Amino acid sequence: MARARRVGAVCGQAFLEQALPIEVERNGLHLWGWVGLPTFSRSQPDLQYFYVNGRMVRDKLVAHAV
């Protein structure tokens, strides 16, 4: 639960209360994180964070695809 504590510290406890944890592994790809429910919709992407191999990725194409 250390990940959840960190997400709560960055995004706020309200986000964690209205988010679903996800973790999937297929074909050598491991994806994990939290997905906000529609009740936590935001017009700004300021709480979207993407990491690949432990490195932060800032890419509008990736953000738009998600």
2 — phi, psi (to 5°)? Answer: -60, -35
pTM: 0.66
Contact 49, 56 (CB under 8 A): yes
How many domains, in total, are found in the chain?
1
Along the chain (66 residues), what's the average pLDDT of each consecutive run of 10 residues? 88 89 93 85 73 82 74
CATH value at residue 44: 3.30.230.10
Cα(20)–Cα(24) distance, integer angstroms = 13
Domain that includes residue 41, residue range: 2-65
Please give the structure tokens belonging to residue 41.
């919709």
